[in-house]
Amino acid sequence: MERIGGEAANDIVYDAKLPLDIENLIEPRFEKIVPTLTEIVIDISAMTKLLILVCLCKLKRFEGPLRIVNTEAKDYAPTRKAYEESKDNMAMMAKFPSRGVESIIRTKCLSSIRMQGQPVTLVAFTSFNEQLVRHVLGTMTPHRLLFINGRTSRADFEWREYAMQQIHSQLISEYPSGNQIDPKTGLLTRKASLMGYSETISRLDEIYEQCGIHERIICAATGSKMQTVGLFFAKMRHPDIHVEYPTPNSYFVKGLSKGVEQVYEITIPRFREFLQGVSE
């Protein structure tokens, strides 16, 4: 065990494919360690979306400054060439994940029992693994399915916005209500930055205002890491939103992200006070 600043590092074993107990593992550790800290830095660069959400939830009572750090890779998998070779055969793309989804994880801190029995609006983020959304659909029959597409600020990655939408095109055609397409660009009008979090909060606020009074909103955590941070803040703002995490087993892409393009950091001086303001 590595020692940092004279103190032993506290390792927590995380099974990325089957993280059923992660909330119960993190909670007692955080309750013991967090009160002794004056500042917390959480590097989400290599975290799964579930781990990001659970860690932030378990830090809700932290009074001090919290910094969320995320490293943007220079190159992401899949490459444009790999996508272009597969895009015309969507049936083949759907079969690329060996098992697609291992399980759907529900945690206490992300759950909500409000409005059970009411019609469900399922909200999902586009990605390069359509099977994640399909697996969630296999566990429920939503009144509507609303997608939030990913918006990039990098010119060399503009193709990814089109690609992620194309991968989900069949589902979008099956659930056209609420998934408006811009006639000029052919892209979904509802989108949020892949490397920011505020647009995700705004999109979920809009959906909540439209559907939250009469329908139960369930969000599938299928977006980027920073979109997931936005999902956490939206959950704090609207506690009755229910969040589920479809655990990917394997993706159709091969290879890993490479290099460092930019490092993003969110600094919140008083985390607990900030979350109270968000909820109000």
pLDDT for the residue numbered 254? 52
Residues 42 and 126 grouped into a single domain: no
- The answer to whether position 42 is within a domain reads yes
- The answer to whether position 116 is within a domain reads yes
Residues 130 and 237 grouped into a single domain: yes
Cα–Cα dist 209/213, whole Å: 7
Residues 68 and 86 grouped into a single domain: no
Name the strands in the sheet holding 120-125, side by side, starting at the edge strand that comes first in the sequence.
Answer: 101-105, 242-248, 216-220, 120-125, 144-151, 191-193
pLDDT for the residue numbered 8? 56
Are 59 and 30 contacting, i.e. CB atoms less than 8 angstroms apart? yes
Residues 134 and 203 grouped into a single domain: yes
Residues 89 and 207 grouped into a single domain: yes
pLDDT for the residue numbered 90? 52
pLDDT for the residue numbered 4? 42
Residues 91 and 230 grouped into a single domain: yes
Domain that holds residue 10: 3-73+260-279
Low-confidence residues in the chain, pLDDT < 70: 1-9, 88-102, 249-256
Residues 60 and 87 grouped into a single domain: no
Cα–Cα dist 49/125, whole Å: 12
pTM for this structure? 0.89
pLDDT for the residue numbered 2? 38
Residues 103 and 241 grouped into a single domain: yes
Look up residue 186 and give its amino acid. G
Are 191 and 185 contacting, i.e. CB atoms less than 8 angstroms apart? no
Look up residue 211 and give its amino acid. C
Residues 46 and 150 grouped into a single domain: no
pLDDT for the residue numbered 261? 77
pLDDT for the residue numbered 226? 95
What total of structural domains would you count in the chain? 2
- The answer to whether position 40 is within a domain reads yes
- The answer to whether position 253 is within a domain reads no
Residues 121 and 191 grouped into a single domain: yes
- The answer to whether position 255 is within a domain reads no
Residues 232 and 93 grouped into a single domain: yes
End-to-end CA gap in the chain:
42
CA angle 124, 126, 129 (to 5 degrees): 105
Phi, psi of 122 (to 5 degrees): -95, 125
